[in-house]
Amino acid sequence: LTYLYQDRFVSKEELQISPEDRGYYFGDGVYEVFRVYHGRLYEAAAHFERWEKSAAALRIPLPLPSGELTGRLEELIRINGLSEGTVYMQVTRGAAPRSHPFPADTKPILMAYTTEARRPLNTMKEGISAVTMEDIRWLRCDLKTLNLLPNVLAKQHAVDQGAGDVILHRNGTVTECSASNIMIVKDGAVITHPANHLILHGITRAVVLRLAQGLGLSVRETPFTLKELRAADEVFITGTTVEVTPVISVDGVPVADGRPGEITRRLQNEFEKTISF
Ligand code: PMP
């Protein structure tokens, strides 16, 4: 497996990260996960836009402009012979003796690699169970930073409960899941939390909202409560790796009749069309 390290292609053994890397000390960095379908990056422009936004907010200068980086990732996919899977890419503020302020001579460290992954066809068809949990993250959830401890604890909570994922809420207002966005369907309308500082602005979320509009469905980007979640006709999550996955139970109680919903199915079908290029 070949890695991208700065602007070079290297083996894992050649990839040397300093123990003083600020990613290691502080989680001082940002990342992206791209989906690869048929050897091609899906929604690359949107991912790079978010990457630039996250890096700019943390004031991490990017070692390569997105145009060049796109070419490097395409080459990485080719070198690794990846057809279906993901590309993980991250940049940290680089190495310096441990001290909170930015180092004077910052040299950001970038790396990326590919992973083979199949589409989660089974859970997309059958749906998953979910459990709810208080969202304890900071107030810039729109930035895709390496600080994922609350997400890690949330996902582990789901695993401990034998659930497929965790639905996060702030004081009863549903935000998103540990690594995906969440939408409900009520009386034919698709409802999801607005893209503000409390959620990650998911690329799949944006695609699915466009598709819903294309189907003539009413789309409402407005906060909804745990009570509304429990009373929903349909619940589904969206994300780069989960695509559109139905949620069929919340805290052990079935959503509606406990089967994936009709509108969820239609959105899955529409999504399918966007990836069969
Ligand atoms: N929310 C969180 C917290 C995530 O980690 C992810 C996965 N990147 C998403 C939502 C979904 O975003 P996307 O559709 O861009 O993968």
Domain ranges of the chain: 2-116, 121-275
Burial of 106: CB neighbours in 10 Å, binned 0-12, 13-18, 19+: middle
| The token pair that represents 82 in the structure block | 């990846």
Ligand 1 pocket member 205 (CB < 6 A): yes
Q: How far is CA 9 from the centre of its chain?
A: 25
Q: What top-level class would CATH report for the domain 2-116?
A: alpha beta
Ligand 1 pocket member 180 (CB < 6 A): yes
Centre of ligand 1 to C-alpha 181, Å, is: 6
In angstroms, the CA 240 to CA 253 distance is: 27
Position in ligand 1 atom list of the atom nearest CA 199: 1
* Amino acid making up residue 239: G
User: Which of 36, 54, 142, 180 to mutate to test ligand 1, by most ligand atoms within 8 A of the CB atom?
Assistant: 180
**Which pLDDT value is given to residue 277?**
66
Kindly write down the DSSP assignment for every residue of the chain, as one continuous string. Answer: -EEEETTEEEETTT----TTBHHHHH--EEEEEEEEETTEESSHHHHHHHHHHHHHHTT---SS-HHHHHHHHHHHHHHTT-SSEEEEEEEE--B-SS-SSPPTT---EEEEEEEE----HHHHHH-EEEEEEE----S-TTS-BS--HHHHHHHHHHHHTT-SEEEEEETTEEEEESSSEEEEEETTEEEE--SSTTS---HHHHHHHHHHHHTT-EEEE--EEHHHHHT-SEEEEEETTTEEEEEEEETTEESTTSS--HHHHHHHHHHHHHH--
**Which pLDDT value is given to residue 106?**
87
In angstroms, the CA 130 to CA 248 distance is: 8
Q: Whole-prediction pTM value?
A: 0.97
Q: How far is CA 155 from CA 64, 137, 149, in A?
A: 33, 13, 10
β-pair partners for 174: 169, 224
Ligand 1 atom 5: residue of nearest CA: 179
User: What ipTM score was computed for the predicted complex, to two decimals?
Assistant: 0.99
Torsions phi, psi for 207 (to 5 deg): -60, -45
Q: Beta strand 85-92 with 253-254: parallel, antiparallel or unpaired? A: unpaired
Q: What top-level class would CATH report for the domain 121-275?
A: alpha beta
| Below-70 pLDDT ranges, the chain | 277
Q: How far is CA 49 from the centre of its chain?
A: 14
| The token pair that represents 116 in the structure block | 């083979």
β-pair partners for 11: 2
Whether 53 is a known active-site residue: answer no
Torsions phi, psi for 98 (to 5 deg): -65, 115
In angstroms, the CA 225 to CA 185 distance is: 13
pLDDT tens digit sequence for 195-208? 999 999 999 999 99
In angstroms, the CA 271 to CA 266 distance is: 9
